[in-house]
């Protein structure tokens, strides 16, 4: 007898996140009921986009206000039965140091993956995670150092000193990080092109004398 899948009432999935280009907190997806909740509980505004309507918080809100409104709206949506993804950076109820702990777990997971790798392509996958040009760990870390050097320079006292300036050396470090990422990607490409070794078959179990006589 053929079994049929049960019918479920599935509301549209809603994503609340911060757009990296504009810095606006936006909510994408949802029904008219969800739009009403976003506007009433979070102060979101309706906006027309190229691919349909969406909602956003007003311009110029402080970061803590953005987080408060996004968290409040997401919990109201969840209580009403909607499926919601809230960007962890906007979640005021997230565990302290949660992002740092997640980063540590991620790095530990990469170390475990490369330790358990059985093919060079699996090693190449881990190296890609480290040095991919846009979202690799090393380029993202380099971006943090670059921004830190600019911020430190803008806030630094302009008094002269005979000592070498550590902030100036940050620029040299970022160049070194870029070169390191290029070397890692070169190694990644070589590992990805390497012929894969066939898995070693397990040793044959010794046969009993009785089985050999058959």
Q: What are the tens digits of pLDDT across the range 148-180?
A: 988 888 887 655 556 667 888 888 899 999 999
pTM, two decimals, is 0.50
Q: Rounded to an integer, what distance in angstroms lies between the CA atom of residue 206 and that of residue 212?
A: 10
| pLDDT value, residue 157 | 67
Q: Please tell me what DSSP assigns to residue 90.
A: G
Using CA atoms, how far apart are residues 150 and 198, in angstroms rounded to an integer?
Answer: 50
Rounded to whole angstroms, how far apart are CA atoms 54 and 63?
Answer: 20
Position 101 scores a pLDDT of 77
In the chain the first and final C-alpha atoms are separated, in Å, by 45
Please give the pLDDT value at position 5.
64
pLDDT at residue 144, rounded to an integer = 92
Q: Which of 75-79, 106-110, 165-169 has the lowest mean pLDDT?
A: 165-169
Using CA atoms, how far apart are residues 194 and 214, in angstroms rounded to an integer? 45
What pLDDT score was predicted for residue 206? Answer: 54
Contact 61, 92 (CB under 8 A): no
Residue 12: pLDDT over 80: no
What is the tens place of the pLDDT at every residue in 109-119? Answer: 999 999 999 99
């Amino acid at each position: 007898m053929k079994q049929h899948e049960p019918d479920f009432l599935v509301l549209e999935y809603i994503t609340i996140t911060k757009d990296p280009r504009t810095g606006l907190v936006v909510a994408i997806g949802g029904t008219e009921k969800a739009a009403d909740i976003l506007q009433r509980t979070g102060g979101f505004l309706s906006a027309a986009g190229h691919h349909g309507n969406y909602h956003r918080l007003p311009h110029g809100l402080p970061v803590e206000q953005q987080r408060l409104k996004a968290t409040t709206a997401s919990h109201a949506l969840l209580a009403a039965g909607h499926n919601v993804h809230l960007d962890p950076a906007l979640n005021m109820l997230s565990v302290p140091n949660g992002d740092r702990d997640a980063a540590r777990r991620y790095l530990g997971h990469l170390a475990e993956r490369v330790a358990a790798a059985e093919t060079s392509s699996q090693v190449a996958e881990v190296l890609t995670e480290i040095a991919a040009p846009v979202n690799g760990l090393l380029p993202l870390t380099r971006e943090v150092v670059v921004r830190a050097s600019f911020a430190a320079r803008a806030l630094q006292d302009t008094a002269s000193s005979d000592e070498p300036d550590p902030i100036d050396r940050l620029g040299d470090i970022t160049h070194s990080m870029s070169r390191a990422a290029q070397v890692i990607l070169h190694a990644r490409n070589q590992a990805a092109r390497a012929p894969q070794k066939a898995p070693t078959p397990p040793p044959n179990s010794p046969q009993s004398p009785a089985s050999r006589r058959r």
